[in-house]
A and B are shown apart, each in its own frame.
Chain A
């Protein structure tokens, strides 16, 4: 059974009658059946409804032919959903036992827009409970494993989403990124991960973590597929007041990319650093201008993040009282409790000014710094993680070490700017390597354009995990 590598190829296979939507779904579900017990990426499969959708896609295609894409531009695009996304009549747990038996009465905006464009939803994926984590190990339903090597973490918090894409369990997936929860697993699993501009896509119907940082985003095999999903879901929906409609920036023929010395310091693993240098020279050899820039406040982004984020977590998780849905607060696991307690502390009388207000002020300065640098360049290139994937259990007992895995991803959330994680190579241990591009607010199209150009000249793409 030949499964598509991207949506464009799927459309070609369908149009040449080499396969059908039902056959593609068969292929994905066969692989899930065979391999998912090894990686634990799905919590709920939507078998019945996905077959119903696939049969409808086949019927529509046979009736309308290629014209069907005018009405349903993503017809038959098979997507998995991080278990934070509400989908009508489907269980949504946020990977926490608090919501073990919760069934969503409605669709989140992202889901309803993808549904309207013809996407097929195959199931709900595992993640760190409440999206709290960088390794996938904080799930109340057991950790997800890295399909490249089962002893390693897949990255978190959207662990199952990234794994489902690299394992060919679906063509793309939805995730959420509050401090790196899309880019880190994308990087550790070797797939593309998009964290859009804060305010580009509505979070309505997606379990909230830290609302001034939370973004809805995607995993895909190519930047082009991530772009399609982004364009299908962005824009005002009337349910999330932070969403803005912005006309995309014009694309250019030559881009200037900034590299900050702060991203190449001694704390970065040599393999990650060398790969970043190789990517930079590949870009340089292909007509991109590279410019040295400076982002000295980057080192403080992680401290700002671990004040503002738990503060907002403590407020957002206050709604879980077990009255309207879910279980009571005794079902919270240690990581959620730790963040709620830390958040309560930084917001409490006597500490509010010293922590929360201070962090908000430094946040202002970080935003200013990014705005200044992004006036000089079209994008900034940076590592996603200071190290390649780490081993399961390696950081599980030390929350501070785990938090430091986010050191290069949190800045984009603090500044509200878009970021795209792109796979580029493998390590000597056969684990994925990659990098991220950070852009100006609402300039996702520029990032996709640069990534697209890079993908077409990169000779060392990691490919897919071999699940044997």
Chain B
């Protein structure tokens, strides 16, 4: 039995009681379909990087280039402060503050505003 509310919580999604009920029923059908894979014998299959993955041993040259202007990067932000994205406080307990001094400073600055 799939716990829809729990899974939605893991994915940071809000689902209503009605949605949880509907999704639960639909996922049951879908899981029945995908469970058919148990009919396929895979005991000799060695799982390596998929055969179609052609990315191995590929490295990009480390080249400097112009990045997008800060203004256009911040253009779509819901909330910004100077040249930063502004977000709600995530960690309220100061003991859990990240150790990076830069990050703590910027966070403290924001809190004091």
Residues of A within 8 A of B (CB): 101-103, 105-106, 198-199, 212, 238, 241-242, 244, 297, 300, 302-304, 306-307, 314, 318, 321-327, 329-330, 332, 334, 337-338, 340-342, 344-346, 348, 355, 357-365, 367-368, 371, 399-400, 403, 415-416, 441
Nearest chain A CB to B111's CB is how many angstroms away?
A: 17
B interface residues, tally (CB under 8 Å): 47
Name the A residues within 8 Å of B10 (CB-CB): 344, 348
Residue on A nearest B48 in the bound complex, by CB: A364
Q: Which residues of B contact A (CB under 8 A)?
A: 2, 4, 7-8, 10-15, 19, 22-23, 26-27, 29-31, 33-40, 42, 45-47, 50-55, 58, 60, 68, 72-73, 75-78, 85, 87
CB of A198 within 8 A of CB of B68, answer: no
Interface contact A400-B26, CB-CB below 8 Å: yes
The reply to whether B30 and A341 contact each other, CB–CB distance below 8 Å, is no
Query: What separation, in Å, do the CA atoms of A322 and B78 have in the docked complex?
Result: 7
Task: Decide if B27 touches A345 in the complex (CB within 8 Å).
Answer: yes
Chain B residue numbers with a CB within 8 Å of A334 are 19, 22-23
Q: Measured between C-beta atoms, what is the minimum distance from A260 to chain B in Å? A: 17
The reply to whether A318 and B77 form a contact with Cβ atoms under 8 Å apart is no
User: Judging by beta carbons under 8 Å apart, are B85 and A364 in contact?
Assistant: no
Measured in the bound complex, the distance between the Cα atoms of B15 and A338 in whole Å is 10
Known: A103-B76, A325-B77, A332-B13. A364 touches B47 (CB 8 A): yes
Given contacts A337-B8, A348-B10, contact A361 B76 (CB under 8 A): no
A341 → chain B closest CB, angstroms: 5
Complex alpha-carbon distance, A66 and B104, angstroms: 62
User: What 6 pairs across the A-B complex have the smallest Cβ distances?
Assistant: A416-B52, A325-B76, A361-B42, A105-B72, A361-B45, A303-B34
Which residues of chain A have C-beta atoms less than 8 A from B53's C-beta? Answer: 212, 242
Within the complex, which residue of A304, A327, A341, A415 is in contact with B8, where a contact is CB–CB below 8 Å? A341
What residue in chain A is nearest B34 (Cβ atoms)? A303
Partner of B34, one of A103, A241, A318, A355: A355
**Also in contact, A364 and B51, with CB within 8 A (given A300-B37, A340-B11, A345-B2):** yes
Chain B residues with CB under 8 Å of A324's CB are: 73, 76-77, 85
B30 touches A337 (CB 8 A): no
Q: Which residues of A contact B72 (CB under 8 A)?
A: 105
> In the docked arrangement, what's the CA distance between A304 and B75, Å?
40
Q: How far is the CB of B38 from chain A (nearest CB, A)?
A: 7
Instruction: Decide if B55 touches A341 in the complex (CB within 8 Å).
Output: no
Knowing A199-B52, A303-B37, the reply to whether A342 touches B27 (Cβ < 8 A) is yes
Task: Give the chain A neighbours of B37 by CB distance below 8 A.
Answer: 300, 303-304, 307, 358-359, 362
Besides A323-B85, A345-B27, 14 other CB < 8 A contacts?
Answer: A103-B75, A242-B55, A300-B36, A306-B33, A314-B11, A329-B12, A329-B14, A334-B19, A337-B19, A340-B11, A344-B10, A345-B7, A364-B51, A416-B52
Docked pose: A441 CA to B54 CA in angstroms: 12
Contacts of B58 in A (CB 8 A): 241
Question: CA of A363 to CA of B8 in the docked complex: distance in angstroms?
Answer: 27
Which residues from chain B contact A363 at a C-beta distance below 8 Å? 50
Instruction: Tell me how far the C-beta of B47 lies from the nearest C-beta in chain A, rounded to whole angstroms.
Output: 6
- Chain B residue, CB-CB nearest to A243: B54
Known contacts A318-B11, A323-B85, A330-B14; A365/B40 CB under 8 A = yes
Query: Bound complex: CA of A129 vs CA of B53, how far in Å?
Result: 27
Q: Is the CB of A244 within 8 A of B47?
A: no
Whether A306 contacts B30 in the complex (CB less than 8 A), given A106-B68, A338-B23, A362-B40, comes out as yes
Contact B34 A307 (CB under 8 A): yes
Task: Give the complex CA separation of A382 and B3 in angstroms.
Answer: 39
A337 touches B36 (CB 8 A): no
Q: How far is the CA of A371 from the CA of B10 in the complex (A)?
A: 38
Chain A residue nearest in CB terms to B32:
A400
Given that A106-B68, A400-B29 are contacting pairs, would A329 and B50 also be in contact in the complex, using a CB cutoff of 8 Å?
no
Residue of A241, A355, A364 near B55 (CB, 8 A) is A241
Choice from B42, B54, B68, B77 contacting A362 with Cβ under 8 Å: B42
Residues of B within 8 A of A306 (CB): 30, 33-34
Closest residue on chain B to residue A330 by CB atoms: B14
Note all chain A residues with C-beta closer than 8 A to B39: 300
With contact pairs A303-B34, A304-B37, A307-B34 given, residues A344 and B45 touching in the complex (Cβ less than 8 Å): no
Q: How far is the CA of A403 from the CA of B31 in the complex (A)?
A: 12
CB of A360 within 8 A of CB of B50, answer yes
* Cα distance, A327 to B68, chains bound together (Å): 22
- B22, B47, B73, B76: residue with the most chain A Cβ atoms closer than 10 Å: B76
Given contacts A199-B54, A338-B27, whether A365 and B34 have CB atoms under 8 Å apart is no
Query: Please, which residue of chain A has its CB at the minimum distance from the CB of B61?
Result: A238
Q: A105-B68, A241-B55 are in contact. Are A323 and B78 (CB under 8 A)?
A: yes
Closest Cβ of chain B to A44, distance in Å, is 16
**Residue in contact with A342 in the complex, picked from B14, B30, B51, CB distance below 8 Å:** B30
A69 → chain B, closest Cβ, in Å? 30
Within the complex, the shortest CB–CB distance from A363 to chain B, in Å, comes to 7
B33→A303 contact, CB < 8 A: yes
Inter-chain CA distance A304–B40, complex, in Å, is 11
B14 to A: closest C-beta gap in Å: 6
B75 A105 Cβ-Cβ under 8 A: yes
B12 proximity list for chain A (CB < 8 A) = 318, 321, 329
Contact A344 B7 (CB under 8 A): yes
